[in-house]
Amino acid sequence: MIPYQIIEKKSQGLTLSESEIKDFVLAYTAGNVPDYQMSALLMAIFIKGMTTEETLSLTKVMLESGECMDFTSAPGFVADKHSTGGVGDKVSILLAPILAALGIHIPMISGRGLGHSGGTLDKLESIPGFNVNLDLKTWHDLVLKEHVGLIGQTGNICPADKKIYALRDVTATVRSIPLISASIMSKKIAEGVQGLVLDVKTGNGAFMQTQDDSRALAKSLVSIGKGYGIKTTALITDMNQPLGSAIGNWFEMEESVRGLQGDGPADLMDVTYALGAEILKMSNPDLTQEAAIELQAKTVADGSAFEKLKRITELQGGNPDVLDKLSDYPRAKYSGAVRAPRSGYLAKVDTMALGFAGIQLGAGRRKITDSIDYSSGMYIHSRIGDSVSSGEDMLTVYSNDEKALDQVLAGGQDIFTIEQSPPEIPSLIRERIE
């Protein structure tokens, strides 16, 4: 295998064979192809795309680069939810304990922040001690016993995706239907789930910004899932503004806890329950949508979902007390506010710019080796359609890097478009793909 020839072939828009994809990806995973050649191939795929067959080959090689889990001994339904990524998207942190409290087994393998979007693993790690690197046997036992285990790709689960994902994060090669499809689905198939719901984000804070692209991605994901015998559905949900108000790792953890305590923002809870209903209905086809939502709301009202999050935190090495004492968590040293330059209605939020502002503040990575400052982040105070008054706080920003904070504050007003007449409010749940 000569990497140069494969890069050249893809850069001309030609179709790679299964063995070319396999040889290249496995050689990269083993360290025999350098980052710069994989980066070139990823950019060629990003620009020229992949056929359905190439996408399936890439999924297969990523899947087979590691181990697959077997949950056939689980006494109940085994399922997972995965998002294509957005800003302020903390649904997994709520949904995993909610479904586990209802007896669904959730072997959740999540990712880190990618490009402008946040990642569940980084959010979980904002809890001191939380270990997302459990060995697979410990994780497997945890899922059987507690119904949920929250990990990242270990060296053994889709190691090829783990390495490629980190490279895509810093080479602007995320927004690609075949690359996203293979990345997500290889991990989900490796989990050994029977059911899967995908939250395909659409809008200016999503990797897929138009409804057509989001639908194409949703269809690609669902068809790969079904091809592997997994009950799979996708909801296309809005990402033209952050979900909830909190952006940044601990900030989002805190908002998730409040959601599990019955005090979550309506948009966050609506998306969480809609995705959860998909899984509950897969596990029991007689369940109505209303009943599936009611069941989940009950786990919040009776505290069982929050107790589950605390239990799993403790069993994964984290300190559950921080979840009870949210206000004790250290805050970043510096803070400031972006204020509305005029009165009117909030018409538009540049959601991707908000995601990149989070990186600038220290809440995300610029390069693979960067560490994250969990106490940096933001709260957005208005939603599209809200009326705002001149001088009102639109965004509160926290960072330990004063210069970065000043830069975000200086550019902050450009994130918001304020108009004189009420705008159309984007609908939250756009479409269901089965």
Q: How far apart are CA 79 and CA 46, in angstroms?
A: 30
Q: Which region among 62-70, 179-187, 233-241, 398-406 touches ligand URA (by CB under 6 A)? A: 179-187
Residue from the set 96, 158, 180, 230 that interacts with ligand URA by CB under 6 A: 180
Other C-beta atoms closer than 10 Å to the C-beta of 316 total 24
Q: Where in 83-102 is the site for ligand URA (CB under 6 A)? A: 84-85
Exactly one of 112, 187, 215, 310 is catalytic; which is it? 187
Shortest Å distance, C-beta 59 to ligand URA: 12
Q: How far apart are CA 340 and CA 73, in angstroms?
A: 56
Q: CB of 378 within 8 A of CB of 396?
A: yes
Whether 286 is catalytic is no
What x/- string results for residues 97 through 126 when contact with ligand URA is judged by CB under 6 A? --------------x--x------------
Lookup: tokens for 392 = 């009102």
Lookup: tokens for 295 = 């069941």
Residue from the set 92, 183, 209, 313 that interacts with ligand URA by CB under 6 A: 183
Other C-beta atoms closer than 10 Å to the C-beta of 25 total 25
DSSP 379-420: EE---TT-EE-TT-EEEEEEES-HHHHHHHHHHGGGGEEEES
The contacts of residue 2 (CB under 8 Å, 6+ apart) are none
Whether 35 is catalytic is no
Shortest Å distance, C-beta 117 to ligand URA: 7
Shortest Å distance, C-beta 164 to ligand URA: 9
> Residue 283 interacts with ligand URA (CB under 6 A)?
no
- Quickly count helices (H) and strands (E) in the chain: 17, 13
Residue from the set 50, 69, 177, 184 that interacts with ligand URA by CB under 6 A: 184
Q: CB of 24 within 8 A of CB of 6?
A: yes
User: What is the sign of the dihedral through the CA atoms of 323, 296, 105 and 67?
Assistant: negative
**Nearest partner of 180 among 151, 152, 219, 211, judged by Cα:** 219
Exactly one of 183, 186, 375, 382 is catalytic; which is it? 183
Shortest Å distance, C-beta 378 to ligand URA: 21
Q: Which region among 50-58, 180-188, 316-324, 392-400 touches ligand URA (by CB under 6 A)? A: 180-188
Cβ distance to ligand URA smaller for residue 179 or 349? 179
Shortest Å distance, C-beta 322 to ligand URA: 27
Whether 168 is catalytic is yes
Q: CB of 97 within 8 A of CB of 148?
A: yes
Q: How far apart are CA 94 and CA 268, in angstroms?
A: 9
CB nearest ligand URA: which residue? 183
Shortest Å distance, C-beta 179 to ligand URA: 6
Whether 183 is catalytic is yes
Chain residues in the site for ligand URA (CB under 6 A): 84-85, 111, 114, 165, 174, 179-180, 183-184
The residues annotated as belonging to the active site are: 82, 161, 168, 183, 187
